[in-house]
Amino acid sequence: MLADTVIILVKILVILLGIALTAGALLTFVERKQSAWIQNRVGPNRANIFGHIRGDKFKDSIKLGGLLHLAADGLKMLLKEDIIPKGANRVLHTAAPAIVLFPVLVGFAIIPWADHWCAGGLTLLVNHRDVCLSESHNLFSIADLDVGFLFVFAIASLSVYGGAIAGWSSNNKFSFFGGLRASSQMVSYEVPMGLSVLGIVMIFGTLNLNEIVRAQGDLLFGVLPAWGIFVQPLGFIIFLTAMIAENKRAPFDCPEGESEIVSGYMTEYSGLKFGILQLSEFIAVIFIASIVSVLFLGGWQVPYLYGDGFHMPHSAFFPLFALLFFVVGGYLIAVGVRREQMLQKIAGGLLVVLGLVYAVMSTTQANGVQHLPYEGVVLLRLGTMFAKVIFMVWLQLMIRWTVPRFRYDQIMQLGWKIMLPAALVNLLITAIILIPLFS
C-alpha cells in the first residue's frame, strides 16, 4: 500500500517535473530557436554566465548555445514587479493563472508513456497482443483510467475558466474581449474535438488510453499498423486542429491576438503570473502532442515490435526500413548546409544510426522475427513515444510560425460550419463501415 503510494508520488514527480514543466520551459527556448531558423535568423544566443572583461574586451565563457536564455527568462519573470491593475478583482486576478495551469498539468496524468511493466514472462497471442503471465504494473502513466478519454475532455473543458476569469477580472476592455473570445472559441471547438475522437473510440472499443494504444498494434490487412491516423485520417486532422484551437495558438490565437486586442486576457498580467500563463500554453503544446500521439500515431507502439521483439510481416521489411531511414537521414544531413541546421543534421544522423540497426537486424533475423530482451522493448517503446511527441511539437511550431491569424468570426465559422459537419460525416462513415464488421 505504502509502496504503491510512493510509486505514484514518484511518477507524479517524474512526469510533471521531468516531462511537463521541464519540457514546457525548454519549449520556450525551442520555439524561439526554431522560429529563428524558419525566419533565417540566428535566434537567442547572447545570455551567458561567468562573463568577464579581459583587457578591453568582454569575454563570455559559458553560453550553452543560447540555452541560458531559459534561465534568464525565468529569473526575469520571478523578479519583475507583479502588478494588479486598479479596479481589478484581486482574488480572481491572482487565481486565474493557476486555474489556467492546473488543467494542463492534470491532463498529463493519463498519458501512457509505455505499456505496463510486466514483472514475469510474456506470452504472445496469435494477433501479437501480449499477455503478462504474472502481475503487470502500471509504471509509465500516473493513472490508468478506464474513462481515460472522457477525463481529457473534462479537463479540457475546465481550462475554459482560466482564460475567461483572467479576462473578466483584469478590469480592462481588451482583456475582457480576450476572455470572451477565449471562452467562446474553446467551447465551440470542444464539439468537433469530441466528435472527431468518437470514431477512434468506436473502432477500438475502449476509452482507456493504454488499451487504445495496444489496439493500435494490430495490423490492417496483415501489413499496415492500425494507427489512428490510418483508420481515421479525417478524424486526425479535425482533432489536431481542434486541439490547437483549444490551446489558442496561431492561427487560432484570437484571444491573445496581439494586434487588435493587445494581448487579450494576458494584457494586465506581469511577472510570474504572466510567466505561468505563457508556460501553461507551452505545456499544453506538449500535452496536445502526447494526446495526438497516443490516439492517432500509435503512442508507444513501434511498427511490428511486440512483447518479445520484432515480428515483421515479411523478412524483406528489415532492409526496407533500413533503406528508408538511410534515405531520409541522408537527405536531412545533405540539405542541412548551414551551421544553424545542426539539429537537422543530428536528427539525420540518428536516423542513419537507426537504419544501421535495422540493417544489422536484417542479417540476424529469422523469417522476419528478431527477438529482443523485454527491457530493450520497453526502452524502444519509451523512445518512440518521445520521438512522436517531439515530432508533433515540431509540427505545431511549424504551423505556428507559418500561417497568419484567423479573424474571430472566421474561427467560429470554421468550427461550426466546416469542422462540425466534417466530424459528423466522419463518424457516420466510420459507423457504416463498422456495422458489418460487428454484426
Partner 1 sequence: MAADVAGILEIDQDLHTEAMLLNMGPSHPATHGTVRFVLTLDGESILKCDTEIGYLHRGFEKMCESSTWTQVFPFTDRLNYVSPLINNFGYAMTVEKLLGLKVPIRTEYIRTILSEMSRMSDYLTCLAAGALELGGFTAFLYAVEGREFLWDLIEEVTGQRMMTNYGRIGGLKDDLTDGFAEKWKALAPHLRYLVDAVHKLLTRNRIFIDRMEGTGIISQAEAISYGFTGPCLRSTGVEYDVRKAFPYHAYDKVDFDLVVGSAGDNYDRYLVRMEEIIQSMRIIDQCLDQMEPGPINCDDPRVLLPPKSSVYNSIEGMINHFKLIFEGIQVPAGEVYGYVEGGNGELGYYIVSNGSGRPWKIKVRPPCFYLMGGMAKMVEGAMLADIIPTFDTINLIGGEIDR
Residues that bind partner 1 (CB under 8 A): 35, 38-41, 173-174, 177, 250-251, 253-254, 257-262, 401-410
Closer residue to partner 1, CB minimum distance, 31 or 246? 31
Q: CB atoms < 10 A from the CB of 193, how many? A: 24
The count of other CB atoms within 10 Å of the CB of residue 295 is 28
DSSP SS3 for 122: strand
C-alpha cell of residue 133: 503471465
CB of 107 or CB of 178, closer to partner 1: 178
Query: Shortest gap between Cβ of 35 and partner 1 (angstroms)?
Result: 7
| Contact residues for 239 (Cβ-Cβ < 8 A; gap 6+) | 193, 196, 197, 292, 295, 296
Q: What's the min distance (Å) between Cβ of 97 and partner 1? A: 22
Element (H, E) at 130: strand 130-132
Q: In the complex, what is the shortest distance from the CB of residue 405 to partner 1, in angstroms, rounded to a whole number?
A: 3
CB closer to partner 1 out of 56 and 409: 409
Closest approach, Cβ 110 to partner 1, in A, equals 32
C-alpha cell at 231: 483508420
In the complex, the smallest distance separating the C-beta of residue 176 from partner 1, rounded to whole angstroms, is 9
Q: Which three cell numbers stand for residue 291?
A: 494526446
Closest approach of Cβ 395 to partner 1, in Å?
Answer: 16
Could you tell me which residues are beta bridge partners of residue 117?
Answer: 137
Distance of alpha carbon 327 from alpha carbon 211, whole angstroms: 34
Q: What are phi and psi of 85, to 5 degrees?
A: -65, 155
Burial of 79: CB neighbours in 10 Å, binned 0-12, 13-18, 19+ = exposed
**Residue (116 or 405) nearer to partner 1, CB:** 405
184 and 246 in contact (C-beta within 8 Å)? no
CA 196 – CA 91 distance, rounded (Å): 37
181-190 residues labelled b (16+ CB within 10 A) or e (exposed): bbbbbbebbb
Whole-number Å distance between alpha carbons of 383 and 302: 9
Q: Could you tell me the smallest distance in angstroms from the CB atom of residue 44 to partner 1? A: 15
Q: What's the min distance (Å) between Cβ of 254 and partner 1?
A: 7
Say how far apart CA 222 and CA 314 lie, in whole Å.
10
Nearer to partner 1 (CB atom), residue 60 or residue 258: 258
Residue whose CB is less far from partner 1, 404 or 436: 404
Q: Which is nearer to partner 1, 22 or 402 (CB)?
A: 402
Closer by beta carbon to partner 1, 264 or else 348: 264
